[in-house]
Amino acid sequence: MAVPKKEIDRTESPARAKESNQEKTTRVTHPKPVLTTQYGALFSNDCLAILREIKEETVDCVFADPPFNLGKDYKNGFKDKTSEAEYYDWCHEWIAESSRILKPGGSFFVYALPEIAARFTGFMRERLTFRHWIAVMMKGSYSRGKKLYPAHYALLYFTRGDPKTFNKLRTPIPVCRHCGKDIKDYGGHRNKLNPKGLNLTDFWDDTSPNRHKKFKVRPGVNELKMVVPERAILMSTCEDDIVLDPFGGGGSTYQAAEKNRRRWLGIEKYDCPHIVRRMSDSFPFSVRGRSTLNLDSLFKDNEDNADQILRRRKG
């Protein structure tokens, strides 16, 4: 005699239905990127909105090149002028959030005018360990009233405690572009120099900060040369480490990270289409391929995020 099959009750209890709905909601806990590559993701949003959603101690390196509040025309609708108090309050917010998401031993680089960098230094020392004030030579500058001729930008280098990674970099031995001979005689010890080049110092006079106009993705707007963030990345990270730049601009940091197999998070509120084009042109196969960046592991996935989403929907 056949034993009748037990009827399965497929009715979901109200408690389980609520739990299921919460699970579905909490799955969507991070913003959707406008671009993903093999190593990175780019978000079109305000930097603070993204930074606040990232988990603590998840990023190995932050490189920031913020606006300087000089009233520049970025040709994208961004207003680069507010009161000094508002500007520095805003800067303190993104610096604090960037410090929070740094892993122990992680590195934080900030590129700025010396006057601004001097203000940043005091605030950053409350949270981080000062390493270097790197002078990046400024070419083609001009005198400014009763001040010295401005000859450099500042690149602040801080770490969260002792650096977990510090790679010694070398630069080519400088030669005359006309005759090809060494510019310096090195006190008669030229034969003792490392053939791989000179040790990188905190004075970078072999590059200019601004990209040549023929390489810019945003016509008429200053863009940082890739060599500046690339050196910072190579100095302070290893392959597969995570680099974050909260001010994408022309995308130099992201190109440097992708080129050197560093995973990266990018944030840019206004000029994402330019960055997407630059990355697509530079890494066509990487843009089309599968990303190695696990966003779910980087962004907060607590129920508070889900509750906020539900409250916004109900409101």
Could you tell me which residues come within 8 angstroms of residue 268 by beta carbon, excluding any fewer than 6 positions away?
42, 43, 44, 247, 248, 249, 251, 275
pLDDT digits (tens, 9 = 90+) for 143-156: 777 888 888 999 99
Q: Which CATH architecture has domain 32-174+201-314?
A: 3-Layer(aba) Sandwich (3.40)
Please report, for the chain, the start and end positions of each structural domain, with discontinuous segments joined by +.
32-174+201-314
Strands 203-204, 129-137: parallel, antiparallel or unpaired by DSSP?
parallel
What distance in Å separates the CA atoms of residue 206 and residue 177, rounded to the nearest whole number? 12
203 close to 135: Cβ distance less than 8 angstroms? yes
Check residue 200 and give its pLDDT: 96
Does residue 293 carry a pLDDT above 70? yes
The angle formed by the CA atoms of residues 99, 105 and 110, to the nearest 5 degrees, is 45
Per-residue tokens: 140 = 């083609």
Encoded tokens for 40: 């990175």
For the chain, count helices (H), then strands (E).
9, 11
Residue 124: is its pLDDT beyond 90? yes
- Whole-number CA gyration radius for the chain: 24
Query: Please, are residues 299 and 50 in contact by the beta-carbon 8 Å criterion?
Result: no
State the helix-helix crossing angle for 227-236 and 252-259, rounded to 10 degrees: 50
**Which is more confidently placed, 109 or 3?**
109
The 8-class DSSP code of residue 294 comes to -
**Residue 24, CA distances (Å) to 34, 301, 302, 310 in order:** 22, 12, 13, 12
Query: Per-residue confidence at 88, pLDDT binned at 50, 70, 90?
Result: very high
Q: What is the pLDDT of residues 179-222, one digit of tens each?
A: 988 888 888 788 888 889 999 999 998 886 654 444 445 455 56
The mean pLDDT value for 84-110 works out to: 97
User: Is the distance from CB of 222 to CB of 4 less than 8 angstroms?
Assistant: no
Q: Is 313 helix (H, G, I), strand (E, B) or coil?
A: helix
What's the half-sphere exposure (Cβ side, CA atoms, 13 Å) at 108? 27
How does pLDDT run across 269-285, given as a tens digit for each residue?
Answer: 988 999 999 999 999 99
Secondary structure element (H or E) that encloses residue 49, with its range: helix 47-51
Question: Across the strands, what pairs with 243?
Answer: 61, 264
Identify residue 295 by its one-letter amino acid code. Answer: L
Q: Average pLDDT in the 73-86 region?
A: 79
Note whether 294 and 236 are within 8 A (CB): no
Place of tokens 């004030």: 133
